[in-house]
Amino acid sequence: MSSTSQKHRNFVSEPMGDKEVSELAGIGEVLAERLKDKGFDKANVVLGQFLVLKKNKELFLDWMKDTCSANKKQAGDCYDCLNEWCDAFL
């Protein structure tokens, strides 16, 4: 497993609660605003989409690219963050 960011480690270290979408690894201010504009204002809403896509990496990366113009690294970081969170809490 590659090294993870502090943001990633912080996110996966505790239950989802009411976290902002910007707390997801790979999601900065610009992507957060784009996601909010599409109705994905909280991390748990993005998690819902992640689960709807059955945790499929390619589908999620494509969804991130189409929804908020995330690049492959940003989308991959977000995927890894949500996947690890699911492993820990679901």
The string of pLDDT tens digits covering residues 13-47 is 999 999 999 999 999 999 999 999 999 999 999 99
Neighbouring CB atoms inside 10 A of 76's CB total: 18
CB 80 within 8 A of CB 4: yes
Predicted local confidence at residue 2, as pLDDT? 56
Domain boundaries, the chain: 6-89
> Is the model's pLDDT at 1 over the cut of 70?
no
**Does the domain formed by 6-89 have CATH 3.40.190.10?**
no
Total-model pTM: 0.94
Phi then psi dihedrals of residue 42, to 5 deg: -130, 155
List b or e across 17-38, with b for residues whose CB sees 16 or more CB atoms inside 10 angstroms: eebebbbbbbbeeebbebbbee
CB 79 within 8 A of CB 61: yes
The string of pLDDT tens digits covering residues 51-76 is 999 999 999 999 999 999 999 999 99
pLDDT band at 4 (very low <50, low <70, confident <90, very high): confident
